[in-house]
Amino acid sequence: MNQIVWLRRDLRLADNPALYHAAKDGPVVCVYVLDDESPRHHAYGGASRWWLHHSLVSLAQSLEARGSKLILRQGDAVEELCKLAAEISTATIHANCHYEQWWLNAERRLATTRDLQLHHGNYLMAPGSVTTGTGGLYKIYTPFSRAVRAELPPRDELPAPESLSAPDNWPASEDLASWNLLPNKPDWAGGLRDFWQVGEAAAHERLDWWGDHVDDYDDKRNFPSADKVSRLSPHLHFGEISPVQVWHRFHHKRSDGWRTFEGELIWRDYAQNAILQFPAYATQNYREDFDRFPWRDPATDDAAARDLKAWQEGRTGYPIVDAGMRQLWQTGWMHNRVRMITASFLIKHLLIDWREGEKWFWDTLVDADYASNATNWQWTAGTGVDSNMFSRIMAPLTQSEKFDAARYIREYVPELAALEAPYIHDPEEFGRRPAGYPRKIIAHRAARERALAALMAMKDG
């Protein structure tokens, strides 16, 4: 009997449990449904759509090399899958579990009328499977991480099928180009094309590169100029490689770098456990007292709107912040330390709601992940179930010098390229600000005092 494999963020052949098990049961029809309706305000943003286009091209080529095809449909995922099942006379659909609320809802709907075979494929441990001593789900990362490490190793890797049986007749497929995932008016993706290689093969090339550098991760991960980070995040997000594959590649290592990076893989699992418990985590404060926080609202405050735009465009007058925001716009990605600095700046220096930042990152990051993005923003804002204290306010100028960001700033803020350290970290303070570079939109001390006053007003309210 024909088997449908419903692909979402699992765009690979190797270590794909849904594909592996379907291929054992009969001819396989792999389908990707572009469903912008179910996620509503979290339909893919521009950078993610660019990546998706190229990832689907790569996957289609890999399937064709094995005598198969990738079928493309657009619309409500459940409706399209039911139509496809009728077209090829099957009731069986294989899929890897996804934990965003819209996908959980879709899986429940689909299971009422079709034989939906769900598999665990995208995380080290199935979200919800690692529990406390009383059987509940962990809310705090550190005990969750200890519990996950105690459960390791994860499942074994699964091989990619050498060939795939085809159905007697292939169903119709839409033309990928008709989806208009790539920008053209204007084409702003030149920087992304220069920065990334997309697809399963590219993910493994990056993994090979990372094998030579992961041991240095603990020492070098906070230094943006060193660029000693994996850049595996978009490949993991779109499932071009699985965390299980990464873990089995490096688990024999005993370095601090690998152990720290293993913690990053566990953080991905933690974020999924967070949205399993709090499905609206990207749109609602976990700590309800922050619902009273006196944010500056760009929708009603012109000054706040100008500040938000300056942050988005990398024109704040803080070089490390501006470098990060320009790297994001140019490449669809940002160094992990700089993500924390830029997020903290928006929230605490500009007093703009973390959800404005979450929306911007969702649209501009190629690795924009619903769970990780929300968890990281709520951690920085102090609003999350496990989060930094709001009163701990990052000093971006100090961070820039401490983590030797000069070369990074020169690369992404060319107006400052002629400046040496320490002047490049704070050119205005040293009287070295070039005419074409903006003044600070707010001084650090004034911003800190304003943020602490706002926190006190919330507590008093």
Question: 341-382: per-residue pLDDT in tens?
Answer: 999 999 999 999 999 999 999 999 999 999 999 999 999 999
Same domain, 114 and 146: no
Q: How far apart are CA 84 and CA 21, in angstroms?
A: 19
Residue 182 lies in a domain: no
Task: From 221, 223, 270, select the one nearest 243 (Cα to Cα).
Answer: 270
Whether the predicted pLDDT of 2 surpasses 80: yes
Assign residue 227 the CATH number of its domain: 1.25.40.80
36 within 8 A of 180, measured Cβ to Cβ: no
Same domain, 215 and 325: no
Q: What is the pLDDT of residues 252-279, one digit of tens each?
A: 999 999 999 999 999 999 999 999 999 9
Among the three residues 277, 300, 329, which one is the final residue of a domain in this structure?
Answer: 277
Q: How far apart are CA 31 and CA 25, in angstroms?
A: 17
Same domain, 427 and 295: yes
Same domain, 324 and 256: no
Same domain, 383 and 393: yes
Residue 282 lies in a domain: no
Same domain, 446 and 346: yes
Number of domains in the chain: 3
Three-class SS of residue 93?
Answer: strand
Whether the predicted pLDDT of 33 surpasses 80: yes
Whether the predicted pLDDT of 227 surpasses 90: no
Whether the predicted pLDDT of 461 surpasses 80: no
Q: According to the model, what pLDDT value does residue 97 have?
A: 98
Same domain, 212 and 347: no
What is the strand order of the sheet 3-7 is part of?
A: 70-74, 28-34, 3-7, 92-96, 115-119
Same domain, 269 and 145: yes
Q: Percent helix, strand, coil in the chain (nearest 5)?
A: 50, 5, 45
Cis bond upstream, residue 186 (ω within 30): yes
Three-class SS of residue 89?
Answer: coil
Three-class SS of residue 7?
Answer: strand
Three-class SS of residue 25?
Answer: helix
Q: What is the pLDDT of residues 374-399, one digit of tens each?
A: 999 999 999 999 999 999 999 999 99
Q: What is the pLDDT of residues 188-200, one digit of tens each?
A: 999 999 999 999 9
Same domain, 440 and 323: yes
Task: From 378, 409, 249, 392, select the one nearest 314 (Cα to Cα).
Answer: 409
Q: Report if pTM > 0.85.
A: yes
DSSP H helices in 232-348: 233-237, 243-250, 256-277, 302-313, 319-331, 336-344
Three-class SS of residue 48?
Answer: helix
Domain hosting residue 132, numbered range: 123-155+189-277
CB within 8 Å of 390: residues ≥ 6 apart:
348, 381, 382, 383, 451, 455
Among the three residues 242, 277, 312, which one is the final residue of a domain in this structure?
Answer: 277
What letter does residue 131 receive in the DSSP assignment? B
Tokens read off for 277:
């418990």
Residue 181 lies in a domain: no
Residue 170 lies in a domain: no
Residue 200 lies in a domain: yes
Q: According to the model, what pLDDT value does residue 437 have?
A: 98
Residue 283 lies in a domain: no
Q: How far apart are CA 193 and CA 178, in angstroms?
A: 20
Same domain, 103 and 147: no
Same domain, 142 and 64: no
Helix (H) or strand (E) holding 147: helix 141-151
Q: According to the model, what pLDDT value does residue 304 have?
A: 98
Q: What is the pLDDT of residues 437-454, one digit of tens each?
A: 999 999 999 999 999 999
Residue 129 lies in a domain: yes
Q: According to the model, what pLDDT value does residue 425 have?
A: 98
3 beta partners: 28
Q: What is the band of 5 on the pLDDT scale with cuts at 50, 70, 90?
A: very high
Cα dist. 145→212, 382, 407 in Å?
A: 25, 20, 34
CB count, 10 Å around CB of 113? 12
Among positive and negative, which fits the CA dihedral 377, 378, 383, 386?
negative
- Rg of the chain taking only CA atoms, in angstroms: 23
Average pLDDT over residues 432-437: 96
Residue 165 lies in a domain: no
Among the three residues 238, 255, 277, which one is the final residue of a domain in this structure?
Answer: 277
Assign residue 82 the CATH number of its domain: 3.40.50.620
Same domain, 98 and 128: no
% of the chain with per-residue pLDDT over 90: 99
